[in-house]
Amino acid sequence: MKSFEVIDEFPELDTTDTSSFGFIEDSSSSGSGFIDTVFGVMPVLTGIFVVLFLAVVAFIIYSQVRNYRKIKSAGMDPLTLEADLATRLAQSDLLAPKKSLEAKLNELADLRTRGVISGEEYEQARRDALKE
């Protein structure tokens, strides 16, 4: 087994004398004034951020509860509102394709032959359909 011998070639460094280190400034200042200011203001900025964040969260909760109550009081289910409205809109006349003139006249003739509308009603509805 080999043993190692410690060689003491380097003199002890004086830790209070920083002049031998070129990259360390010897000044009585504790640091940058800007950085000290930023870190001094950090708790205040953090507090403002937390207060604003909580205010936004409270507003979101308030508006969601208000919308829920409004929808519920209108007699609709808030959880399926979008699907209900989309279904109603898809089944409405607003989005239904327009019937051709021929289809309208055939429907009127069918209604007259089945006795659902009278001859006068048929003539009036036929005139209205032809005007469009």
Q: Which residues contact 19 (CB under 8 A, 6 or more apart)?
A: 26
Question: Measured between alpha carbons, how far is residue 37 from residues 44, 45, 84 in Å?
Answer: 12, 12, 57
Question: What is the separation of C-alpha 66 from the centre of its chain, rounded to a whole number of angstroms?
Answer: 18
Q: How confident is the model at residue 88 (pLDDT cuts 50, 70, 90)?
A: confident
What average pLDDT does the structure give for the chain? 82
DSSP-based three-state secondary structure for 96: coil
CA distance 73 to 65: 12
For residue range 107-126, list pLDDT tens digits in order. Answer: 999 999 999 999 999 999 99
Does residue 119 contact residue 112 with C-beta atoms inside 8 Å?
yes
Task: Find the Cα–Cα–Cα–Cα dihedral 71, 76, 78, 82, rounded to 10°.
Answer: -110
Q: How confident is the model at residue 101 (pLDDT cuts 50, 70, 90)?
A: confident
